[in-house]
């Protein structure tokens, strides 16, 4: 028999159905709560609110489990590539070789942005943050594709998704080149996804960048590990915008803005800045941790803690290992890595972090890899955005294709002034 939940309000009992997910997660279905009782639920920051039923990504934060479409992240990280994972997330199945080839060919076909987009880039002052440029330029890119502005059509969605995944990489590289006053570098058909990004970032018109396989693999892994993470702040933003039936490019541009903040995707930049600050102070991290615990200046251990994970973030384990492997292959010794490892060890044994179940998250070690590759810290969150794009697209598709999807529109408990008469300006 299906389970129900009983709620007692003003002496009356109401029953609500319980929804059980395929992994056993339970939720009380309160969709008709207000209509039946006059009450709403209050859940600031949505810590207990399921905003949708989704088939894309599963997380068990207590056990530190992450699966894309049912596949454990550890197995995907070991045996797959970012492009295959993008296909998996968006279309729900691992691509066969012909499907992968077709999707890769689409990515190649769409890698060039419209030449007029260069004039848009020229309008930004030098030193503009690449995340600001990326968000604006994704929206602008949509203007060059009339079909994007039309109603959602399943038949052309693969093309639109491929165009966005491919062009976000070109736009990101151009944003970096613009922020440094460097000439834009065009993509090359012969390169695969991640190779092409590195080429557009670091080649010069008179000299091609040397593509080190260790670097290509590490960056591809970073993209893959960021590809989706269920209903986080930016993905919820994308779903919110999509629910109004805004187009794919507008919804993704909104996702970039949500990702930018230091409590979300901006944390990878903040981690490196924190580690550099600790290094400059000649601290081994212990003085900094004391400041965090004393809440001195609201200091936080960036790259630690997560709304959902109350255990190790499985992505952090994979990235930490990849970081060691890549630095070793490149023969780099980065003192920031030593500080990060010491911070992690100390924090994991400190009652403040233990009691609050604060563990390293995906951002704690990713910045050290990106820094070793030569990617400047203001580009770290852009890298996160390139990686997260397939997840945003998959969630956009899920919203648009859902037969019972309505515009997202939360309610509130009003706590402002009660009704009062207007006072003319001369009487105030
Ligand atoms: N350093 C010190 N204290 C922390 C930290 C931290 N990194 N994270 C949480 N806490 C404390 C927090 O002050 C609170 O303490 P108390 O209960 O005494 O007030 C307690 O732990 C619970 O934290 P919270 O802020 O209520 O947790 P939240 O779920 O609202 O926030 C978070 C989650 C990720 C925003 C937060 O842990 C944080 O700010 N971490 C640092 C930023 C960061 O690394 N963000 C990247 C997240 S992973 C990538 C992504 O998906 O975006």
What is the distance between the alpha carbons of residues 384 and 251, in angstroms, rounded to a whole number? 17
Q: Strand, coil or helix: what is 204?
A: strand
307 CA from centroid of ligand 1 (Å): 7
Name beta bridge partners: 5.
Answer: 16
CA dist 39 → 9, 46, 192 (Å): 9, 17, 54
Which tokens is 406 given? 């309505």
- Nearest atom (ligand 1) to Cα of 271: 44
pLDDT tens for the chain, 428 residues long, are 689 999 999 999 999 999 999 999 999 999 999 999 999 999 999 999 999 999 999 999 999 999 999 999 999 999 999 999 999 999 999 999 999 999 999 999 999 999 999 899 989 988 889 999 999 999 999 999 888 777 788 888 999 999 999 999 999 999 999 888 899 999 999 999 999 999 999 999 999 999 999 999 999 999 999 999 999 999 999 999 999 999 999 999 999 999 999 999 989 989 999 999 999 999 989 999 999 999 877 889 999 999 999 998 999 999 999 999 999 999 999 999 999 999 999 999 999 999 999 999 999 999 999 999 999 999 999 999 999 999 999 999 999 999 888 999 999 999 999 999 999 999 99
Phi-psi region of 83 (alpha: psi -120 to 50; beta: other; left: phi over 0): alpha
Cβ atoms < 10 Å from Cβ of 231 = 20
User: What are the Cα distances from residue 57, in Å, to 85, 257, 282?
Assistant: 12, 22, 42
Residue with tokens 């296909």: 87
Q: How many CB atoms lie within 10 A of CB 79?
A: 9
In this structure, the residue with its CA closest to atom 12 of ligand 1 is 356
| DSSP conformation class of 168 | H
Q: How many whole angstroms separate alpha carbon 208 and alpha carbon 215?
A: 15
User: How far, in Å, is the centroid of ligand 1 from the Cα of 308?
Assistant: 10
Residue 126's pLDDT is what?
A: 81
Residue nearest to atom 51 of ligand 1 (CA): 264
Query: Quick one: which atom of ligand 1 is closest to the CA of 292?
Result: 2
Q: How far is the CA of 375 from the centre of ligand 1 (A)?
A: 26
Residues 6+ apart with CB under 8 A from 138: 164, 167, 168, 171, 249, 252, 253, 256
């Amino acid at each position: 028999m299906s389970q129900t939940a009983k709620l007692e309000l003003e002496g009356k009992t109401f029953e609500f159905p319980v929804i059980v997910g395929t992994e056993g997660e339970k939720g009380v279905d309160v969709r008709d709560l207000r209509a039946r009782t006059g009450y709403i639920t209050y859940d600031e920051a949505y810590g207990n609110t399921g905003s949708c039923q989704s088939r894309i990504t599963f997380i068990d934060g207590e056990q530190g489990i992450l699966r894309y479409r049912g596949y454990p992240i550890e197995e995907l990280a070991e045996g797959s590539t970012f492009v295959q994972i993008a296909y998996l997330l968006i279309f729900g199945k691992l691509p066969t070789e012909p499907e992968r080839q077709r999707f890769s060919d689409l990515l190649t076909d769409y890698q060039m942005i419209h030449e007029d987009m260069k004039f848009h880039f020229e309008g930004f002052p030098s030193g503009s943050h690449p995340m600001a440029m990326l968000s604006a330029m994704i929206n602008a890119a949509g203007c060059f594709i009339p079909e994007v502005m039309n109603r959602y059509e399943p038949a052309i969605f693969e093309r639109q998704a491929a165009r966005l995944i491919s062009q976000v990489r070109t736009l990101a590289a151009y944003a970096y080149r613009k922020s440094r006053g460097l000439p834009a570098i065009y993509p090359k058909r012969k390169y695969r996804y991640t190779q092409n990004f590195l080429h557009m970032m670091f080649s010069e018109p008179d000299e091609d960048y040397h593509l080190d396989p260790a670097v290509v693999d590490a960056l591809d892994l970073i993209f893959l590990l960021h590809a989706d993470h269920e209903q986080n702040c930016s993905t919820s933003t994308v779903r919110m915008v999509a629910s109004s039936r805004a187009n794919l490019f507008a919804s993704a541009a909104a996702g970039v803005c949500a990702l930018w903040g230091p409590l979300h995707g901006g944390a990878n930049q903040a981690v490196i800045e924190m580690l550099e600050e600790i290094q400059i102070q000649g601290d081994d991290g212990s003085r900094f941790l004391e400041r965090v615990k004393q809440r001195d200046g609201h200091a936080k251990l960036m790259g630690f803690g997560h709304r959902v994970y109350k255990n190790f973030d499985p992505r952090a384990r994979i990235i930490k290992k990849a970081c060691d492997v890549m630095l070793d292959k490149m023969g780099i010794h980065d003192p920031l890595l030593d500080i990060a490892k010491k911070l992690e060890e100390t924090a994991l044994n400190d009652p403040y972090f233990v009691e609050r179940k604060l563990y390293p998250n995906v951002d704690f070690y990713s910045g050290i890899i990106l820094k070793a590759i030569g990617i400047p810290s203001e580009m770290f969150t852009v890298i996160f955005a390139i990686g997260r794009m397939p997840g945003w697209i998959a969630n956009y598709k899920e919203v648009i294709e859902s037969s019972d999807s309505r515009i997202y529109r939360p309610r509130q408990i009003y706590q402002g002034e009660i009704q009062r008469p207007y006072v003319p300006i001369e009487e105030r």
